[in-house]
């Protein structure tokens, strides 16, 4: 089990090169405080299972006491020294099935902790991927704004010069200057959006508070792979397995309470070896030692408790039913989320194809309008509109690109293969 955690957190060391999405995912696995807590919770569950298993093994206790002892009124024997030691071996051979049930619960809790760890790891990786795509989109949006701003700034200078020489009217210069001012505002907003996206990504990566390590990220512009047919089944989902494990824990916990209604039968065996009153008495310990043992069948049964145990059974049963209803509601929401995701992915795939075609058309249209504008065949307004349409088409393209990428990774998350996908396996 502990080797499992070593393999989980093993990753290549960080380098000074810009981080790709896969590098960012590995960094998050190594540094995320939330994931570290999940790992420790799983280790706690493992230790609790080992403790529960120890109930089947004998226990050995040693005790001793040496020193002064006085009683008042004084006894006939006035020796002030007290001494004793004992070695006790105890074993519970049968306890009405309670230890077995507790061990089963601890084993299930360990399985739950392991599944929670894998789910938390995949959820973290999905959030990192979503933040990485948001950062990439913000970077591309800033680049688009910068390109448009540079073109407008150049046109303002050209129109300004033409206006000074009387070639262009004042209204042409003012209109271009107005567009440039709007572009300045958009550029400022794009820079702010990028800064916020980077801060959100660094938080998810778990960059230490004391770290001064500069992190740069490599924008992912690759086209998404072909969308595979959906094969996500609710019965194979990690959350479904978790729900089944939690139901079994609730049932076993209720069973523990139900056992208290009936007589509790037990079988215990103990053996004790010890000696006493040998300090400064001249009597060696082995001459006053003793060995005792017993094997006892015990029977406990409460005759009257005013209905406390019966009500406890009802409380445990109702709590188990409430927990089962909560799990059922969570699974219904999960099924809805998976089905909606399939609809979204189909829409995102179609939207990406349309935005790709739109971008190609707007690029060709801008080239044509630019040439005609330079030749004086079209007015500045047509040129500005074409420039804006091309920028909007690029923004739409990258938005649909990252939406589709995020949808694909969301499906990999529900399939339980997101970690392998980001590790290139």
Q: Which of 324, 313, 325 is nearest to 261 (CA)?
A: 313
d(CA 23, CA 20) in angstroms, rounded, equals 5
Residue range 62-76: average pLDDT? 79
**Confidence class of residue 385 from pLDDT cuts 50, 70 and 90?**
confident
> Where in the chain are the domains?
2-60+97-263+307-422
The string over 289-316, giving b where at least 16 C-beta atoms fall within 10 Å of a residue's C-beta and e elsewhere, is eeeeeeeeeeeeeeeeeeeebeebbeeb
List, edge to edge, every strand of the sheet that includes 264-276.
Answer: 59-68, 81-94, 264-276, 290-300
Beta pairing partners, 90? 59, 270
**CB-side neighbour CA atoms (13 Å) of 9:** 15
* 3-class state of residue 201 by DSSP: helix
pTM: 0.84
How large a percentage of the chain has pLDDT more than 70? 89
**Confidence class of residue 271 from pLDDT cuts 50, 70 and 90?**
very high
**Confidence class of residue 12 from pLDDT cuts 50, 70 and 90?**
very low
Beta strands in 246-346 (DSSP E): 264-276, 290-300
Contacts of residue 283, Cβ cutoff 8 Å, sequence gap at least 6: 277
Q: Which of 404, 338, 417, 345 is nearest to 125 (CA)?
A: 417
pLDDT at 157 over 80: no
d(CA 405, CA 140) in angstroms, rounded, equals 15
Residue range 225-244: average pLDDT? 82
**Confidence class of residue 11 from pLDDT cuts 50, 70 and 90?**
very low
Give the pair of three-digit tokens for residue 122.
């995949």
Span 2-60+97-263+307-422 CATH architecture: Up-down Bundle (1.20)
Residue 1 confidence (pLDDT): 54
How large a percentage of the chain has pLDDT more than 90? 54
**Contact predicate 281/333, CB 8 Å:** no
Residue range 342-369: average pLDDT? 92
């Amino acid at each position: 089990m502990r080797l499992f955690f070593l393999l989980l957190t093993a990753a290549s060391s960080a380098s000074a090169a810009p981080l790709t999405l896969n590098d960012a995912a590995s960094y998050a696995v190594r540094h995320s405080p939330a994931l570290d807590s999940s790992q420790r919770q799983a280790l706690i569950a493992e230790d609790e299972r080992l403790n529960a298993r120890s109930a089947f093994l004998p226990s050995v206790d040693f005790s001793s006491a040496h020193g002064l002892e006085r009683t008042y009124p004084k006894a006939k024997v006035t020796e002030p020294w007290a001494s004793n030691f004992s070695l006790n071996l105890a074993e519970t051979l049968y306890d009405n099935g309670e230890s077995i049930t507790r061990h089963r619960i601890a084993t299930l809790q360990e399985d739950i902790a392991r599944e929670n760890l894998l789910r938390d790891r995949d959820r973290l990786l999905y959030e990192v991927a979503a933040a990485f795509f948001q950062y990439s989109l913000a970077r591309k949006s800033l680049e688009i704004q910068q390109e448009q701003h540079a073109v407008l700034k150049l046109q303002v200078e050209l129109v300004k010069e033409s206006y000074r020489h009387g070639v262009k009217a004042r209204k042409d210069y003012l209109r271009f200057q107005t567009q440039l001012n709007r572009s300045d505002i958009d550029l400022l907003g794009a820079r702010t959006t990028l800064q916020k996206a980077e801060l959100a990504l660094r938080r998810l990566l778990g960059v230490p508070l004391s770290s001064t390590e500069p992190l740069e990220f490599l924008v992912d512009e690759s086209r998404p792979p072909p969308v595979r047919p959906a094969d996500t089944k609710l019965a194979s989902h990690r959350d479904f397995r978790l729900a089944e494990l939690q139901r079994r824990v609730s049932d076993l916990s209720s069973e523990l309470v139900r056992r208290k209604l009936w007589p509790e039968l037990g079988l215990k065996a103990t053996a004790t070896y010890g000696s006493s009153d040998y300090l400064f008495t001249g009597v060696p310990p082995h001459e006053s030692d003793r060995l005792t043992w017993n094997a006892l069948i015990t029977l406990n049964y409460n005759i009257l408790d005013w209905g406390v145990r019966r009500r406890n059974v009802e409380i445990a049963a109702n709590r188990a039913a409430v927990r089962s209803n909560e799990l059922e509601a969570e699974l219904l929401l999960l099924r809805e989320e998976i089905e909606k995701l399939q609809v979204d992915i189909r829409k995102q795939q179609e939207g990406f194809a349309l935005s790709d075609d739109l971008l190609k058309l707007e690029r060709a249209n801008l080239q044509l309008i630019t040439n005609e504008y330079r030749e004086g065949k079209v007015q500045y307004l047509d040129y500005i509109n074409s420039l804006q349409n091309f920028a909007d088409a690029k923004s739409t393209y990258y938005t649909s690109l990252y939406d589709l990428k995020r949808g694909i990774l969301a499906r990999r998350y529900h399939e339980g293969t997101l970690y392998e996908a980001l590790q290139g396996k």
